[in-house]
Structure 1
Amino acid sequence: MVRERALKIVLALVGLLFVALSYPMATMMRQDPALAMMLSLYVTLGVFLLLAIRNPSAHRSLIAFTAWSSLAHAVVMGTQALRNMIERGELIGVGVLVIIGIALISLTPRPVARFSVNQLG
């Protein structure tokens, strides 16, 4: 019960954070269209994370996708920052994405075991 409550809190925080990216997305439409497109994916993901709060078990794949894609994004950003392809200040974002990924992976609901009568005996 505590784990599910913690997951719902994390889903709410991450969902709100991702939805909040709609403001920078709107301001960057003309300046950096590629970044605006990427942010649109995060905003959409944020909306679905907020919807997943009601029944996290039914949204395991969405939660897993968010976790693993956050870690993948962190690896790419971290590599780019360490190779001076992007500013070192982006390492803050790397840290945030790693925290999101680890929190979601550790709190993802476990699959429910289903047994048939034939398997039991």
Structure 2
Amino acid sequence: MDDITRVKYLPIALKLIGLFFIFAIYPMMVWIWPAGWGWTPPQPEYEQILMGIFATLGVFLFLASENPAANVSLIWFTIWLNLVYATIMLLMVLADRAEQANLIGNIPVQYLIAGVLWYLMPAHNFNKKKNTDD
């Protein structure tokens, strides 16, 4: 996929991911699939902090979808946040088999989000021209 196509789809991905962070993390952790999105035993204080962080990030991603070029740092922060979060959860699963449902719950979703955003980020930083004097 070329950069023009990536720039076309990036705002859509930012909106969808933003909405997911705002509206889906809490229900997944609390009602829909707590085993695949939370901790065993439940740790409500930490889970509420995570829900708040992801919901806040979701709002900013949704807003960033209007002008992704002006929000490159936020997008890269989101990519790395999801990679780090998923890797920490993966290490927790390896250390504690009680967390195994996360292997098919939040871990692959976090890696997928990071991968989609990474793939859709233009290789040449949006409108910056390549230096042809080299």
Q: Same fold (TM over 0.5)?
A: yes
Letter in 2 for 1:52: A
Counterpart pick for 1:105 among 90, 93, 118: 118
2:5 is aligned to: 2
2:69 is aligned to: 57
Letter in 1 for 2:45: P
1:14 is aligned to: 17
2:119 & 2:25 partners in 1: Cα distance? 27
SS in 2 for 1:62: helix
Is 1:75 equivalent to 2:62 in the alignment?
no
Q: Over alpha carbons, which structure has the higher Rg? A: 1
1:85 & 1:69 partners in 2: Cα distance? 24
Partners of 1:80 and 1:86 within 8 A in 2:
no
2:40 is aligned to: none
1:102 & 1:114 partners in 2: Cα distance? 25
1:60 & 1:105 partners in 2: Cα distance? 11
Letter in 2 for 1:13: L
2:118 & 2:52 partners in 1: Cα distance? 23
Letter in 1 for 2:9: A
Q: Does the C-alpha gap of structure 1 residues 90 and 40 become closer, same or farther in structure 2, counting only changes over 3 Å?
A: same
With a CA cutoff of 8 Å and minimum separation of 6, indicate the structure with the bigger relative contact order.
2
SS in 2 for 1:87: helix
Aligned length: 114
Letter in 2 for 1:93: N
Give the percent of matched residue pairs that are identical in Structure 1 and Structure 2: 36
Using structure 2 for the length normalisation, give the TM-score.
Answer: 0.74
2:82 & 2:106 partners in 1: Cα distance? 10
Using structure 1 for the length normalisation, give the TM-score.
Answer: 0.81
1:7 & 1:59 partners in 2: Cα distance? 12
Moved over 6 A (4+): none
Distance apart, 1:86 and its partner CA: 4.7
